[in-house]
Amino acid sequence: MSMVVAAADTASAQNSPGSAALDTSLRGAVERQDVPGVVALITDRDRVLYQSAFGVADVSTGRPLKADALFRIASMTKPVTSVALMQLVEQGRIDLNDPAEKYLPEVSGLKVISSFDATTGAYQVRPASRPPTVRHFLAHTSGLAYPFTSAIWRDFKPRAGETYPFGGPLLFDPGERWYYSTSTDVVGRLVEVISGEKLEDYFRQHIFAPLKMDDTSYNVPEEKGPRLVAQQQRAGERMDGAIELQTPQLGLTIAAPIGGGGRAATPPD
């Protein structure tokens, strides 16, 4: 009986004036080529209030976008990785205030960049004043960066014999400030080391299966391949440029999953 009521309520919501306005707005965005396609889903804790799909999943083929399309959701992988680590914290298997090097030798002896010449690329580094803790990586206060968030990281070229795990030298001493970064990649490695499981396996068993997120994974099964949305972008730097496929495409398999990105999921998941 409740299922029939829920279905009727959902149908009513879908046919509401608000839903019609959303349809018009989203369809218009596709027609203006603001986006190649969009899947929109609105829910409360009880039911789906709105769900529609418009446009194409692949501009090169015109494949229609459907409500169950699989998207590579990039950094929305990060919240899942963070949940996984906090599960291990709850179990007492790792402490937020532990030095991360206790579990990951590769983050011991990290260096902070003390000077960088953008013209020549010349730089100086010094030892970090303190070892980064698990909390620092979880909270993006480790001192790491991304090439798209830091011009130094973008242009940095290490000298022969120097290696920098997770992308480059620290921009500042751990704990000094917040900076969006590859820190969650380190969190992913912590999850793997502490649990003894690969991220794909840990997420499936401890997060996705209990939540019935059956379409969420790094590696997309071949039978679901036709549902995977192509990675697309504007040509050049103009916001009104033509939309084209990114090169290369990620494909169905992620060879080395990381904590900071790469998963595929559907809007319903």
pLDDT for the residue numbered 14: 63
pLDDT reading at 109 higher than 50: yes
Q: Band of the pLDDT at 5, cuts 50, 70, 90?
A: very low
pLDDT for the residue numbered 10: 52
Over the stretch 43-71, which tens digit does the pLDDT of each residue have?
A: 999 999 999 999 999 999 999 999 999 99
CB 59 within 8 A of CB 246: no
pLDDT reading at 104 higher than 50: yes
User: Three-class SS string for the chain?
Assistant: CHHHHHHHHHHHHHCCHHHHHHHHHHHHHHHCCCCCEEEEEEECCCCEEEEEEEEEEECCCCEECCCCCEEECHHHHHHHHHHHHHHHHHCCCCCCCCEHHHCCHHHCCCEEEEEECCCCCCEEEEECCCCCEHHHHHCCCCCCCCCCCCHHHHHCCCCCCCCCHHHCCECCCCCCCCCCCCHHHHHHHHHHHHHCCCHHHHHHHHHHCCCCCCCCECCCCHHHHHHECCCEEECCCCCCCCEEECCCCCCCCCCCCECCECCEECCCC
pLDDT for the residue numbered 6: 39
pLDDT for the residue numbered 254: 93
Over the stretch 33-44, which tens digit does the pLDDT of each residue have?
A: 999 999 999 999
Percent pLDDT > 90 in the chain is 86
Structural domains in the chain, CATH included, are: 2-67+220-253 (no CATH), 77-201 (3.40.710.10)
Q: Is the dihedral of CA 151, 153, 154, 159 positive or negative?
A: positive
pLDDT for the residue numbered 236: 76
Q: Band of the pLDDT at 175, cuts 50, 70, 90?
A: very high
pLDDT for the residue numbered 72: 96
pLDDT reading at 2 higher than 70: no
- What average pLDDT does the chain have? 93
How far apart CA 244 and CA 14 sit, in angstroms, is 32
> Model-level pTM greater than 0.85?
yes
pLDDT for the residue numbered 119: 95
Which are the catalytic amino acids?
75, 78, 180
Q: Band of the pLDDT at 4, cuts 50, 70, 90?
A: very low
Over the stretch 184-197, which tens digit does the pLDDT of each residue have?
A: 999 999 999 999 99
pLDDT reading at 159 higher than 50: yes
Asked if omega into 248 is within 30° of 0 (cis), the reply is yes
Q: What does the pLDDT average to over 169-187?
A: 98
How far apart CA 12 and CA 9 sit, in angstroms, is 5
Q: Which among 134, 114, 133 is positioned nearest to 122, based on CA atoms?
A: 114
Q: Please give the backbone phi and psi of residue 178, each rounded to the nearest 5 degrees, phi first.
A: -90, 140
Q: What does the pLDDT average to over 92-105?
A: 98
How far apart CA 110 and CA 129 sit, in angstroms, is 9
